[in-house]
A = this chain, B = another copy of it.
Amino acid sequence: MTDSITPLDDIAFSFQDRLVQVLTDARHRSRGVSAQYGQLWESLTRMATGGKLIRPRLLIDAHRGLGGGDQAAAVDAACAMQLLHIALVIHDDVIDNDTVRRGEANISGEFASDAMRRGAGRREAHTWGDATALLGGDLMLTLAHSLLARLDIDDAKRRAILDIFDDTVFQSAAGEHSDVWLSLHLEEPRSQEVLEMAGQKTAVYSFQAPLLIAAVLAGATSTLTAELADIAAQIGVVYQLRDDVLGLFGDERVTGKSTFSDLREGKETLLIAFARSDPSWAEVHALFGDRMLSTADGHRLRNVIEESGALVFVESIISARCEDLYRLIREASLPTALSTQLIELTSDCNRRTA
Protein backbone atom coordinates (compact mmCIF):
# COMPACT_ATOMS: atom_id res chain seq x y z
CA MET A 1 0.00 0.00 0.00
CA THR A 2 1.51 3.36 -0.99
CA ASP A 3 1.23 6.47 1.12
CA SER A 4 -0.91 8.18 -1.52
CA ILE A 5 -4.10 7.76 0.44
CA THR A 6 -2.82 10.05 3.22
CA PRO A 7 -1.36 13.20 1.75
CA LEU A 8 -1.47 15.18 4.96
CA ASP A 9 1.42 14.03 7.11
CA ASP A 10 0.48 16.15 10.10
CA ILE A 11 -2.66 14.11 10.59
CA ALA A 12 -0.87 10.80 10.42
CA PHE A 13 1.63 12.27 12.83
CA SER A 14 -0.96 13.36 15.37
CA PHE A 15 -2.56 9.91 15.09
CA GLN A 16 0.69 8.12 15.93
CA ASP A 17 1.42 10.53 18.77
CA ARG A 18 -1.96 9.82 20.26
CA LEU A 19 -1.50 6.05 19.88
CA VAL A 20 1.82 6.21 21.71
CA GLN A 21 0.16 8.33 24.37
CA VAL A 22 -2.70 5.91 25.03
CA LEU A 23 -0.22 3.04 25.34
CA THR A 24 2.26 4.88 27.54
CA ASP A 25 0.45 4.81 30.86
CA ALA A 26 -0.11 1.05 30.81
CA ARG A 27 3.40 0.46 29.49
CA HIS A 28 4.90 2.34 32.42
CA ARG A 29 2.71 0.62 34.97
CA SER A 30 3.43 -2.80 33.49
CA ARG A 31 7.13 -2.49 34.37
CA GLY A 32 6.17 -2.34 38.03
CA VAL A 33 4.32 -5.67 37.71
CA SER A 34 7.12 -7.82 36.29
CA ALA A 35 9.89 -7.67 33.71
CA GLN A 36 7.83 -10.03 31.54
CA TYR A 37 4.67 -7.95 31.66
CA GLY A 38 6.76 -4.87 30.85
CA GLN A 39 8.24 -6.70 27.86
CA LEU A 40 4.75 -7.64 26.65
CA TRP A 41 3.64 -4.00 26.69
CA GLU A 42 6.80 -2.98 24.82
CA SER A 43 6.02 -5.55 22.12
CA LEU A 44 2.39 -4.44 21.94
CA THR A 45 3.45 -0.81 21.55
CA ARG A 46 5.87 -1.74 18.76
CA MET A 47 3.19 -3.71 16.94
CA ALA A 48 0.46 -1.11 17.37
CA THR A 49 2.51 1.84 16.17
CA GLY A 50 4.12 0.03 13.23
CA GLY A 51 2.77 -1.44 10.01
CA LYS A 52 0.87 0.19 7.20
CA LEU A 53 -1.84 1.78 9.37
CA ILE A 54 -4.39 1.26 6.59
CA ARG A 55 -7.43 1.28 8.87
CA PRO A 56 -6.72 4.37 10.99
CA ARG A 57 -5.62 6.36 7.92
CA LEU A 58 -8.80 5.37 6.11
CA LEU A 59 -10.95 6.52 9.03
CA ILE A 60 -9.15 9.86 9.39
CA ASP A 61 -9.11 10.54 5.62
CA ALA A 62 -12.76 9.61 5.20
CA HIS A 63 -13.78 11.77 8.15
CA ARG A 64 -11.98 14.75 6.60
CA GLY A 65 -13.21 13.89 3.09
CA LEU A 66 -16.79 13.87 4.37
CA GLY A 67 -16.32 17.33 5.83
CA GLY A 68 -16.15 16.16 9.46
CA GLY A 69 -14.75 18.66 11.92
CA ASP A 70 -14.08 16.60 15.04
CA GLN A 71 -10.43 15.77 14.49
CA ALA A 72 -9.79 14.68 18.11
CA ALA A 73 -12.63 12.15 18.07
CA ALA A 74 -11.56 10.87 14.63
CA VAL A 75 -8.02 10.34 15.90
CA ASP A 76 -9.24 8.43 18.95
CA ALA A 77 -11.58 6.27 16.86
CA ALA A 78 -8.69 5.65 14.44
CA CYS A 79 -6.52 4.50 17.35
CA ALA A 80 -9.30 2.14 18.40
CA MET A 81 -9.44 0.63 14.89
CA GLN A 82 -5.69 0.09 14.89
CA LEU A 83 -5.81 -1.55 18.34
CA LEU A 84 -8.66 -3.83 17.22
CA HIS A 85 -6.59 -4.81 14.19
CA ILE A 86 -3.62 -5.67 16.44
CA ALA A 87 -5.86 -7.69 18.78
CA LEU A 88 -7.33 -9.68 15.88
CA VAL A 89 -3.94 -10.28 14.25
CA ILE A 90 -2.45 -11.49 17.54
CA HIS A 91 -5.34 -13.86 18.26
CA ASP A 92 -5.34 -15.08 14.65
CA ASP A 93 -1.68 -16.05 15.06
CA VAL A 94 -2.46 -17.92 18.29
CA ILE A 95 -5.26 -19.80 16.54
CA ASP A 96 -3.06 -20.66 13.56
CA ASN A 97 -0.15 -21.62 15.83
CA ASP A 98 2.06 -19.14 13.97
CA THR A 99 5.23 -17.81 15.59
CA VAL A 100 6.31 -15.63 12.67
CA ARG A 101 4.55 -12.68 11.00
CA ARG A 102 5.95 -10.78 8.05
CA GLY A 103 9.29 -12.54 8.42
CA GLU A 104 9.77 -11.67 12.09
CA ALA A 105 8.99 -13.42 15.36
CA ASN A 106 5.52 -12.46 16.59
CA ILE A 107 4.68 -12.22 20.31
CA SER A 108 4.33 -16.02 20.70
CA GLY A 109 7.62 -16.54 18.88
CA GLU A 110 9.49 -13.83 20.80
CA PHE A 111 8.40 -14.99 24.26
CA ALA A 112 8.84 -18.69 23.47
CA SER A 113 12.41 -18.07 22.22
CA ASP A 114 13.24 -16.04 25.32
CA ALA A 115 11.98 -18.78 27.61
CA MET A 116 13.94 -21.45 25.72
CA ARG A 117 17.11 -19.35 25.98
CA ARG A 118 16.50 -19.27 29.72
CA GLY A 119 16.20 -23.04 29.89
CA ALA A 120 12.49 -23.82 29.42
CA GLY A 121 11.52 -26.91 27.45
CA ARG A 122 10.00 -26.50 23.99
CA ARG A 123 6.47 -27.37 25.07
CA GLU A 124 6.47 -25.09 28.13
CA ALA A 125 8.04 -22.27 26.13
CA HIS A 126 5.35 -22.62 23.49
CA THR A 127 2.60 -22.49 26.14
CA TRP A 128 4.22 -19.37 27.59
CA GLY A 129 4.46 -17.69 24.18
CA ASP A 130 0.84 -18.45 23.34
CA ALA A 131 -0.41 -17.38 26.77
CA THR A 132 1.45 -14.08 26.43
CA ALA A 133 0.00 -13.45 22.97
CA LEU A 134 -3.52 -14.38 24.04
CA LEU A 135 -3.36 -11.93 26.96
CA GLY A 136 -1.78 -9.30 24.70
CA GLY A 137 -4.76 -9.56 22.37
CA ASP A 138 -7.17 -9.17 25.28
CA LEU A 139 -5.32 -6.05 26.41
CA MET A 140 -5.42 -4.48 22.93
CA LEU A 141 -9.12 -5.30 22.56
CA THR A 142 -9.79 -3.70 25.94
CA LEU A 143 -7.85 -0.55 25.02
CA ALA A 144 -9.83 -0.23 21.78
CA HIS A 145 -13.15 -0.46 23.66
CA SER A 146 -11.84 1.93 26.27
CA LEU A 147 -11.08 4.67 23.72
CA LEU A 148 -14.49 4.43 22.07
CA ALA A 149 -16.37 4.36 25.37
CA ARG A 150 -14.73 7.70 26.30
CA LEU A 151 -15.26 9.52 22.97
CA ASP A 152 -16.14 13.06 23.90
CA ILE A 153 -19.01 13.49 21.42
CA ASP A 154 -22.77 13.61 21.70
CA ASP A 155 -24.41 10.55 23.17
CA ALA A 156 -26.32 9.44 20.06
CA LYS A 157 -23.16 9.46 17.94
CA ARG A 158 -21.17 7.65 20.60
CA ARG A 159 -23.82 4.94 20.82
CA ALA A 160 -23.94 4.61 17.04
CA ILE A 161 -20.16 4.13 16.98
CA LEU A 162 -20.32 1.59 19.81
CA ASP A 163 -22.97 -0.32 17.80
CA ILE A 164 -20.70 -0.39 14.75
CA PHE A 165 -17.73 -1.52 16.80
CA ASP A 166 -19.62 -4.29 18.64
CA ASP A 167 -21.02 -5.58 15.37
CA THR A 168 -17.51 -5.48 13.89
CA VAL A 169 -16.15 -7.73 16.63
CA PHE A 170 -19.16 -10.05 16.21
CA GLN A 171 -18.57 -10.30 12.43
CA SER A 172 -14.79 -10.64 12.67
CA ALA A 173 -15.07 -13.45 15.21
CA ALA A 174 -17.69 -15.13 12.99
CA GLY A 175 -15.35 -14.90 9.98
CA GLU A 176 -12.40 -16.30 11.91
CA HIS A 177 -14.60 -19.07 13.27
CA SER A 178 -15.74 -20.03 9.75
CA ASP A 179 -12.16 -19.87 8.49
CA VAL A 180 -10.98 -22.42 11.08
CA TRP A 181 -14.07 -24.56 10.47
CA LEU A 182 -13.48 -24.66 6.70
CA SER A 183 -9.84 -25.65 7.24
CA LEU A 184 -11.06 -28.80 9.04
CA HIS A 185 -12.45 -29.94 5.65
CA LEU A 186 -15.38 -31.77 7.20
CA GLU A 187 -17.53 -30.39 4.40
CA GLU A 188 -16.71 -29.03 0.97
CA PRO A 189 -17.24 -25.28 0.96
CA ARG A 190 -19.08 -23.43 -1.78
CA SER A 191 -17.25 -20.46 -3.37
CA GLN A 192 -19.88 -18.12 -2.00
CA GLU A 193 -19.22 -19.35 1.52
CA VAL A 194 -15.47 -18.81 1.12
CA LEU A 195 -15.99 -15.23 -0.07
CA GLU A 196 -18.44 -14.48 2.74
CA MET A 197 -16.04 -15.82 5.33
CA ALA A 198 -13.20 -13.67 4.00
CA GLY A 199 -15.47 -10.62 3.96
CA GLN A 200 -16.48 -11.17 7.57
CA LYS A 201 -13.00 -11.96 8.78
CA THR A 202 -11.15 -9.04 7.20
CA ALA A 203 -13.27 -6.62 5.17
CA VAL A 204 -15.73 -5.70 7.90
CA TYR A 205 -13.13 -4.47 10.34
CA SER A 206 -10.59 -3.21 7.78
CA PHE A 207 -12.84 -1.17 5.50
CA GLN A 208 -16.45 -1.11 6.65
CA ALA A 209 -15.90 -0.12 10.27
CA PRO A 210 -13.46 2.77 9.56
CA LEU A 211 -15.74 4.17 6.82
CA LEU A 212 -18.95 3.80 8.84
CA ILE A 213 -17.43 5.33 11.97
CA ALA A 214 -16.09 8.23 9.90
CA ALA A 215 -19.58 8.69 8.43
CA VAL A 216 -21.17 8.84 11.91
CA LEU A 217 -18.57 11.32 13.18
CA ALA A 218 -18.99 13.52 10.10
CA GLY A 219 -22.79 13.32 10.30
CA ALA A 220 -23.14 11.79 6.82
CA THR A 221 -26.64 11.11 5.45
CA SER A 222 -28.05 7.60 5.59
CA THR A 223 -27.88 7.33 1.78
CA LEU A 224 -24.21 8.20 1.78
CA THR A 225 -23.58 5.84 4.69
CA ALA A 226 -25.27 2.96 2.84
CA GLU A 227 -23.16 3.69 -0.26
CA LEU A 228 -20.00 3.66 1.84
CA ALA A 229 -20.97 0.34 3.43
CA ASP A 230 -21.43 -1.19 -0.01
CA ILE A 231 -18.13 0.21 -1.32
CA ALA A 232 -16.31 -1.00 1.80
CA ALA A 233 -17.63 -4.54 1.37
CA GLN A 234 -16.49 -4.60 -2.27
CA ILE A 235 -13.02 -3.23 -1.45
CA GLY A 236 -12.76 -5.96 1.16
CA VAL A 237 -13.39 -8.64 -1.46
CA VAL A 238 -10.64 -7.24 -3.72
CA TYR A 239 -8.27 -7.02 -0.75
CA GLN A 240 -8.97 -10.60 0.25
CA LEU A 241 -8.73 -12.08 -3.26
CA ARG A 242 -5.37 -10.32 -3.73
CA ASP A 243 -4.33 -11.74 -0.36
CA ASP A 244 -5.16 -15.26 -1.50
CA VAL A 245 -3.18 -14.83 -4.73
CA LEU A 246 -0.16 -13.39 -2.86
CA GLY A 247 -0.37 -16.23 -0.37
CA LEU A 248 0.19 -18.80 -3.12
CA PHE A 249 1.96 -16.90 -5.90
CA GLY A 250 3.52 -13.85 -4.16
CA ASP A 251 7.19 -13.02 -3.75
CA GLU A 252 8.19 -14.53 -0.41
CA ARG A 253 10.90 -11.88 0.08
CA VAL A 254 8.24 -9.20 -0.13
CA THR A 255 5.33 -10.89 1.65
CA GLY A 256 7.56 -12.34 4.40
CA LYS A 257 5.54 -15.55 4.26
CA SER A 258 6.15 -18.94 2.64
CA THR A 259 4.02 -19.58 -0.44
CA PHE A 260 3.38 -23.06 0.96
CA SER A 261 1.99 -22.00 4.32
CA ASP A 262 -1.62 -21.51 3.12
CA LEU A 263 -1.38 -24.94 1.44
CA ARG A 264 -0.05 -26.58 4.61
CA GLU A 265 -2.82 -24.92 6.61
CA GLY A 266 -5.44 -26.12 4.11
CA LYS A 267 -6.77 -22.59 3.77
CA GLU A 268 -9.98 -22.50 1.75
CA THR A 269 -9.89 -19.73 -0.85
CA LEU A 270 -11.57 -19.02 -4.16
CA LEU A 271 -8.43 -20.38 -5.88
CA ILE A 272 -8.88 -23.72 -4.15
CA ALA A 273 -12.63 -23.78 -4.73
CA PHE A 274 -11.94 -23.34 -8.48
CA ALA A 275 -9.09 -25.88 -8.58
CA ARG A 276 -11.22 -28.53 -6.88
CA SER A 277 -13.43 -28.78 -9.95
CA ASP A 278 -10.43 -29.71 -12.14
CA PRO A 279 -9.93 -33.46 -12.84
CA SER A 280 -6.24 -33.29 -11.81
CA TRP A 281 -7.19 -32.13 -8.30
CA ALA A 282 -7.86 -35.77 -7.40
CA GLU A 283 -4.13 -36.53 -7.82
CA VAL A 284 -3.06 -33.90 -5.31
CA HIS A 285 -6.00 -33.40 -2.97
CA ALA A 286 -4.33 -35.41 -0.20
CA LEU A 287 -1.44 -32.92 -0.18
CA PHE A 288 -3.78 -30.01 0.60
CA GLY A 289 -3.73 -29.30 4.35
CA ASP A 290 -0.75 -31.61 4.94
CA ARG A 291 1.28 -29.85 7.64
CA MET A 292 4.44 -31.70 6.60
CA LEU A 293 4.06 -30.83 2.90
CA SER A 294 7.50 -31.06 1.20
CA THR A 295 8.83 -28.39 -1.17
CA ALA A 296 8.52 -30.75 -4.14
CA ASP A 297 4.91 -31.62 -3.30
CA GLY A 298 4.20 -27.95 -2.64
CA HIS A 299 5.35 -27.10 -6.17
CA ARG A 300 3.28 -29.98 -7.58
CA LEU A 301 0.15 -28.85 -5.75
CA ARG A 302 0.63 -25.24 -6.77
CA ASN A 303 1.15 -26.23 -10.40
CA VAL A 304 -2.12 -28.14 -10.44
CA ILE A 305 -3.88 -25.07 -9.00
CA GLU A 306 -2.33 -22.76 -11.59
CA GLU A 307 -2.92 -25.14 -14.51
CA SER A 308 -6.55 -25.62 -13.50
CA GLY A 309 -6.98 -22.00 -14.55
CA ALA A 310 -7.69 -20.89 -10.98
CA LEU A 311 -5.14 -18.08 -11.04
CA VAL A 312 -6.40 -16.66 -14.33
CA PHE A 313 -9.97 -17.00 -13.09
CA VAL A 314 -9.32 -15.20 -9.80
CA GLU A 315 -7.30 -12.45 -11.52
CA SER A 316 -10.21 -11.87 -13.89
CA ILE A 317 -12.62 -11.70 -10.95
CA ILE A 318 -10.36 -9.15 -9.22
CA SER A 319 -10.22 -7.06 -12.40
CA ALA A 320 -13.96 -7.14 -12.88
CA ARG A 321 -14.57 -6.30 -9.21
CA CYS A 322 -12.20 -3.31 -9.44
CA GLU A 323 -14.00 -1.99 -12.52
CA ASP A 324 -17.35 -2.39 -10.74
CA LEU A 325 -15.90 -0.56 -7.76
CA TYR A 326 -14.57 2.37 -9.78
CA ARG A 327 -18.05 2.79 -11.25
CA LEU A 328 -19.74 2.40 -7.86
CA ILE A 329 -17.45 5.04 -6.32
CA ARG A 330 -17.90 7.48 -9.22
CA GLU A 331 -21.68 7.09 -9.15
CA ALA A 332 -22.01 7.47 -5.38
CA SER A 333 -22.85 10.87 -3.91
CA LEU A 334 -19.38 11.24 -2.39
CA PRO A 335 -17.30 14.43 -2.12
CA THR A 336 -14.62 14.42 -4.83
CA ALA A 337 -11.67 14.18 -2.45
CA LEU A 338 -13.12 11.06 -0.84
CA SER A 339 -13.94 9.47 -4.23
CA THR A 340 -10.34 9.98 -5.29
CA GLN A 341 -9.09 8.43 -2.05
CA LEU A 342 -11.35 5.40 -2.36
CA ILE A 343 -10.35 4.84 -5.99
CA GLU A 344 -6.70 4.95 -4.94
CA LEU A 345 -7.42 2.62 -2.04
CA THR A 346 -9.09 0.14 -4.41
CA SER A 347 -6.14 0.34 -6.77
CA ASP A 348 -3.68 -0.12 -3.90
CA CYS A 349 -5.59 -3.17 -2.65
CA ASN A 350 -5.42 -4.65 -6.14
CA ARG A 351 -1.80 -3.88 -6.94
CA ARG A 352 -0.21 -4.48 -3.55
CA THR A 353 2.63 -6.97 -3.37
CA ALA A 354 2.65 -7.53 0.40
Residues on A lying within 8 angstroms of B by beta carbon are: 26, 29-30, 33-34, 36-37, 40, 87, 91, 94-95, 97, 115, 118-120, 124-125, 127-128, 130-132, 134-135, 137-139, 141-143, 145-146, 148-150, 158-159, 162, 166, 169-170, 173-174, 176-178, 180-181, 183-184, 186, 200
Residue of B with least CB distance to A40: B177
B139, A142: Cβ atoms closer than 8 Å: no
Contacts of A174 in B (CB 8 A): 30, 33-34, 37
B162, A128: Cβ atoms closer than 8 Å: no
A115, B184: Cβ atoms closer than 8 Å: yes
Most buried by B among A115, A120, A159, A181: A181
4 more A-B residue pairs beyond the given contacts A30-B174, A97-B127, with a C-beta to C-beta distance below 8 A: A33-B200, A40-B177, A124-B183, A132-B180
A132, B26: Cβ atoms closer than 8 Å: no
- Interface SS majority for chain A: helix
Contact of A138 among B124, B128, B132, B173 (CB under 8 A): B173
A148 to B145, CA, bound (A): 10
Residue of B with least CB distance to A179: B131
Contacts of A127 in B (CB 8 A): 95, 97, 180
Contacts of A33 in B (CB 8 A): 174, 177-178, 200
Q: Could you name 29 residue pairs across A and B whose Cβ atoms are closer than 8 Å?
A: A26-B170, A34-B174, A34-B178, A36-B177, A36-B178, A36-B181, A37-B174, A37-B177, A87-B138, A91-B135, A97-B127, A119-B186, A120-B184, A124-B183, A124-B184, A127-B180, A128-B181, A131-B176, A131-B180, A132-B177, A135-B176, A139-B173, A141-B141, A143-B166, A145-B145, A146-B166, A149-B162, A150-B159, A150-B162
A169 to B120, CA, bound (A): 28
Contacts of A176 in B (CB 8 A): 131, 135
B134, A170: Cβ atoms closer than 8 Å: no
Most buried by B among A95, A146, A174: A174
A149 to B158, CA, bound (A): 9
A166 to B144, CA, bound (A): 11
Contacts of A36 in B (CB 8 A): 177-178, 181
